[in-house]
Amino acid sequence: MQCRNCGKEIVEGAVFCPHCGAPTSPGQGFITVTTPTIPGYRITKVLGVVTGLSPRTRGVLGKFVAGIQSMVGGEVSSFTGELEKARMEAIDRARQKAAAMGANAIVGLDMETSDIGLQAGITVISATGTAVIAEPE
């Protein structure tokens, strides 16, 4: 059987793809919440901490545009899209790790942003949570 999302081979009967975390059949979803519990579900097993990281930087042109926008003030739109992509990528990486552990949900998801330093202009987006197995009550 192949995953509908990433196309990689998955074992028959799997609920989620161990490679990308996608549900194997329509109607199933990977629950990801910032809360410690999921309303309407009970956590039957805690599998451990998962983290997804996404380091990002802008190219020379992006930095140039951001420099001009920062002189005028307001939103620096040249970075907005990159940060949004990095956020989704970090969450997806955490989901993939959780799915590989056998989880169907992440609780307590926390997002953090930091600068890698060294004047490199690299921003790191981190998504950390607890991989769990949750069942409807």
CA angle 85, 117, 80 (to 5 degrees): 25
CA 82 to chain centre: 14
Residues written for the chain: 137
Predicted TM-score (pTM) of this structure = 0.68
Query: Which segments within 20-84 are labelled E, that is strand?
Result: 31-32, 41-56
Residue numbers of the domain that contains 39:
31-136
Number of domains in the chain: 1
Looking at the predicted structure, is the pLDDT value of residue 45 above 70?
Answer: yes
Q: Please indicate, yes or no, if residue 25 is contained in any of the structural domains.
A: no
Q: Please indicate, yes or no, if residue 107 is contained in any of the structural domains.
A: yes
Cα–Cα distance between 73 and 109 in angstroms, integer? 32
Looking at the predicted structure, is the pLDDT value of residue 124 above 70?
Answer: yes
53-103 tens-digit pLDDT = 988 775 555 555 555 555 666 666 667 777 788 888 899 999 999 999 999
Confidence of residue 27 (pLDDT cuts 50, 70, 90): very low
For the chain, give the percent of residues with pLDDT over 90.
41
